Amino acid sequence: MQEYYDLKRGEKGAWLSIGAYLFLASLKLIISFIAGSQALRADGLNNATDVVASIAVLIGLKISRKPPDQDHHYGHFRAESIASLVAAFIMITVGIEVVINAFTKLAQNNLEAPNMLAGYTAIFSAIVMFGVYRYNLFLAKKIKSSSLYAQSQDNLSDALVSIGAFGGIIGSHFGLPWLDLVAGIIVGFIICKTAFDIFKDASLTLTDGFDSKEIKQIKKGMERVDGVKEVKDIKARLHGNQILVDATILVNPNLTVKESHQITDNVENYLTEIFGIQHTHIHIEPYKE
């Protein structure tokens, strides 16, 4: 099926992130030790935990590809959302650690301008991660993968974090050595904010939440289908990267069963073509003038 093929394609983005994070984390942690930069160290630790988060996303994508079984009649698509939650928990733990460590050094007045090698490393890392972000965002939108979208947002935050670290390192060379530590604190807060956003989206999906504006658009679309007098009730929820819709439509009470069934087929085909919705349950009731 197309959705399983899409999830397989999504694994490429996860593998790309893992490779980039492994390389950049190793580079930043080594250079931060040599150059003495707290901002670059925080950035490196962020990337190190991102490796674990990316592996969680990869595992989620692989589990999502499993077909329905006796215990999972709708498939395993929600494994993606669980992977997003794991990524969020890992990110927020590291973000808090980074903030506490930088605040501690700032309180101890442990101020020293790092070597400019740290700055060059930070800006190089930002360029690399922005490229990874653009690729994963494109892929996430194409296959409608929530976990890969969360991964792309993490990639973007990592690029911004590296830019922030670069700014702190540069500032420390202009008579403001405390900027390196402040940049580390900002890095930590950015990590926590990104983690919270991912957690919120994944929680909404797992609790069957759905965008009310999108529900209204789907309802208006269904009412345009020939033979549908009114959409009496409609519900939708996300199941991984799949939208599940349950709706009750009113039709002419004088239609035959075959004619009424044809209208439901037309509605399902419309939702698939316009909204990409593959799973729909339509209930028919007679329309009363």
**110-157 tens-digit pLDDT:** 566 677 888 889 899 999 999 999 988 888 887 777 667 877 887 887
Q: Give the domain ranges of the chain.
A: 2-206, 212-286
pTM over 0.85: no
**10-21 tens-digit pLDDT:** 677 778 888 888
User: Residue 121: which residues within 8 A CB-CB, separation 6 or more?
Assistant: 27, 28, 31, 35, 40
3-state class (DSSP) for residue 176 = coil
Q: How far, rounded to the nearest angstrom, does the alpha carbon of residue 223 sit from its chain's CA centroid?
A: 32
* In the predicted structure, residue 232 carries a pLDDT above the cut 80: yes
Other C-beta atoms lying within 10 Å of the C-beta of residue 20:
24
User: Residue 242: which residues within 8 A CB-CB, separation 6 or more?
Assistant: 3, 75, 77, 278, 279
Whether domain 212-286 has CATH 3.40.718.10: the reply is no
How far is the CA of 139 from the CAs of 9, 115, 143, 274, in angstroms?
8, 38, 6, 20
Query: How far is Cα 182 from Cα 185, in angstroms, rounded to an integer?
Result: 5
H/E segment holding residue 10? helix 2-35
DSSP 200-264: HHHHHHHTT---HHHHHHHHHHHHTSTT--EEEEEEEEEETTEEEEEEEEEE-TTS-HHHHHHHH
Specify whether the CB–CB gap between 140 and 155 falls below 8 A.
no
Which of 160, 170, 171, 165 shows the shortest CA–CA distance to 183? Answer: 165
Minimum mean pLDDT among 11-20, 93-102, 103-112: which range?
103-112
Whether domain 2-206 has CATH 3.40.1160.10: the reply is no
Which of 16, 62, 53 shows the shortest CA–CA distance to 150? Answer: 53
- Output the pLDDT for position 72: 65
**233-272 tens-digit pLDDT:** 888 877 666 778 888 888 888 888 888 889 988 988 888 8
Query: How far is Cα 277 from Cα 4, in angstroms, rounded to an integer?
Result: 15
Range list of β-strands (E), the chain: 230-239, 242-251, 279-286
Specify whether the CB–CB gap between 241 and 144 falls below 8 A.
yes
**66-78 tens-digit pLDDT:** 766 766 656 666 6
- What the block records as the tokens of 183 is 């940049």
